[in-house]
Amino acid sequence: MTSPQYDENSIRSLDWKEHIRLRPGMYIGKLGDGSAPDDGVYILIKEVLDNSIDEFVMGTGKTIEVVISEGKVSIRDYGRGIPLGKVIDCVSRINTGAKYDSKAFKKSVGLNGVGTKAVNALSSWFRVQSFRENQVKTAEFASGNLQEDFAIEESNKRSGTLVSFVPDGTIFKNYRFVDEYIERMIRNYTYLNPGLTILFNGQKFFSENGLKDLLNDNLDGAIMHDIIHLKGEDIEVALTHSDKSQSEQYYSFVNGQHTTQGGTHQAAFREALVKTCREFFNKNFDAADIRQSVIAAVSIKVVEPVFESQTKTKLGSNDMSPEGPSVRSFIVDFVKTNLDNYLHMHQDVAEAVLKKILRAERERKDLAGIQKLARERAKKVSLHNKKLRDCRVHYNDLKHDSRLDTTLFITEGDSASGSITKSRDVTTQAVFSLKGKPLNCYSLSKKVVYENEEFNLLQAALNIEDGLEDLRYNNVVIATDADVDGMHIRLLLITFFLQFFPELVREGHLYILQTPLFRVRNRKTTHYCYSEEEKRAALLSLGAKSEITRFKGLGEISPDEFRHFIGENIRLEPVLLGKDQTIEELLQFYMGKNTPDRQAFIISNLRVEKDVIE
């Protein structure tokens, strides 16, 4: 066997757009199809919005307009506008931008000169217009290649920038935009920039009270005390405690960027909260008891922040600025001083916090023995756990960022579990096998999580006992049959997560696997159809004499066929929480005593065409 030829002809250099298109994950994280909030199509929107937000931060442009229709995105700000002679360079020349000048953009989100260029390179059509000094400069691109360089013209429109683009369908296959994800992104921008108005397809988003509004708008049920709202130079904090949920819930931001994976600032806040409460109450409370049921938002501004990935979801910076204090000491000092002052001035809030800590302490002690046995049992079983077939990402102990593509399929029955296990991508996809129907845990205490073997092992597999910070799988996918029993199991699992780990759902990690109902094929072509409409279209395409197979369950789909459904063509429906109902109201409807209503819901939704929970 001869070795491949290796000479000067083997070496090639890629230009900026070729490299972005060849390795898009380096610039926007995972690609996805829009079913997850961190999919690439949303990063494209965010990269353009970040530039408009920076204009507002610098004191210009109080309104941003976002229009998304039929896959096309348009974002218009009313800032200063890109200098007309540099418009093309700013969107097509790598490492070009004003953000290298800290005087122009002191505490900006985008500091790498790549964001808008990545959007340009990954769009089948891209247009930029800069309105400035009664003139307009326009340029159009396709896949990063300049198509039209329009001459500068006179214009009476307000200054600012208009960027329009269509994500490249050859890269973002079968993509779609989920409005809820975009609205969440936009709401966060307004919370972090009080006074900014963002119009999304005509709907107005605005905040007067910053992070206090964020908590108020995201509260799910009763809280134990008024929201504590603290503001200082380069930092803002809001916190309260849930009266129902026992989990910690954080919203953390750096220079307006939602750091969904936390980082040094979130860790510092958690540390500061514990230290402050211990000193204020003069008792060495357990850290977990202090932080139990906390709902908090923290935002800081850092000069030249360092993130752990291009998608900027986790802060890695240790310093507020080259000459300033560390992020940790800055946050700890601010929280200790200002939270301590607040508690002294608001005795009713201090008493509520103390009551909450003491309640958490009692609950922890009551559960201590059960938790210890459950952890030991889970650890022992994990050595030869037949329920969990893990993926290589965890065996190889790769860094956190490499886990963004990891998926855990929760399946029912040996046949379905076996098919998915044989057809999965063993690098990033794991399988957890259920035995029978899970327990209906509605209204039960967390004690059941440790006493029930299925729940205990599932919790251990996900590593979510103490929150999402070390969640082992970015995507948790319920894979059940599309029949009454399968629908019931879906609801039971959703109930489990909403009851004990609602943040898993809130943060967009929970999905339903969509599998085909029909296979339509002739001698040359096979179509997998997920609805009656798709089946009819396949018959029109292939002819009436085609063979039709109706899949009654996942176990009937062979491993070879399953590869089509959990690989590149995977269809996932996110489980989303709407703003009109609390979790308690949802659980009461789906899992309470209204059995006829629930049965009617299950039967009418056997084929999930939209979100399970709206």
DSSP 160-227: EEEEEEEE-TTTSTT----HHHHHHHHHHHHHHSTT-EEEETTEEEE-SSTHHHHHHHH--S-BSSPP
Q: What strands, in cross-sheet order, belong to the sheet with 475-479?
A: 388-389, 429-434, 407-412, 475-479, 510-514, 571-574
Compute how many other C-beta atoms are within 10 angstroms of the C-beta atom of residue 46: 23
Task: Please say whether the beta carbons of 116 and 91 come within 8 A.
Answer: yes
Going by their DSSP bridges, the two strands 518-521 and 526-529 should be labelled as antiparallel
Q: Cα separation of 590 and 427, whole Å? A: 36
- Kindly report the backbone phi and psi dihedral angles of residue 375, in degrees, each rounded to the nearest multiple of 5, phi listed first: -65, -40
Q: Cα separation of 113 and 104, whole Å? A: 14
Helix, strand, coil: what percent of the chain each, to 5?
A: 40, 20, 40
Collapsed DSSP state (helix, strand, coil) of residue 458: helix
Task: Please say whether the beta carbons of 31 and 20 come within 8 A.
Answer: no
pLDDT at 610: 38
Q: Single out the residue of 437, 406, 410, 436 nearest to residue 421, CA to CA.
A: 410
Residue 462 is given by DSSP the state H
Q: Single out the residue of 535, 527, 601, 608 nearest to residue 575, CA to CA.
A: 608
pLDDT at 503: 85
Q: Which CATH number applies to 385-515+551-604? A: 3.40.50.670
Q: Which CATH number fits domain 211-365: 3.40.720.10, 3.40.50.720, 3.30.230.10, 3.30.413.10?
A: 3.30.230.10
Q: Which CATH number applies to 16-206? A: 3.30.565.10
Fold matches, 16-206 and 211-365: no
Going by their DSSP bridges, the two strands 475-479 and 407-412 should be labelled as parallel
Environment class of 151 (CB within 10 Å of its CB; exposed 0-12, middle 13-18, buried 19+): exposed
Grouped pLDDT means (10 residues each) for the chain, 614 residues = 59 73 84 88 93 89 96 96 92 65 50 76 96 96 95 95 96 91 94 96 96 92 93 94 85 86 88 97 95 94 72 67 78 96 97 95 81 66 67 65 78 82 91 87 82 86 82 92 83 90 88 90 89 90 87 81 84 82 74 68 53 37
Collapsed DSSP state (helix, strand, coil) of residue 561: helix
Compute how many other C-beta atoms are within 10 angstroms of the C-beta atom of residue 222: 10
Where are the domains positioned within the chain? Answer: 16-206, 211-365, 385-515+551-604
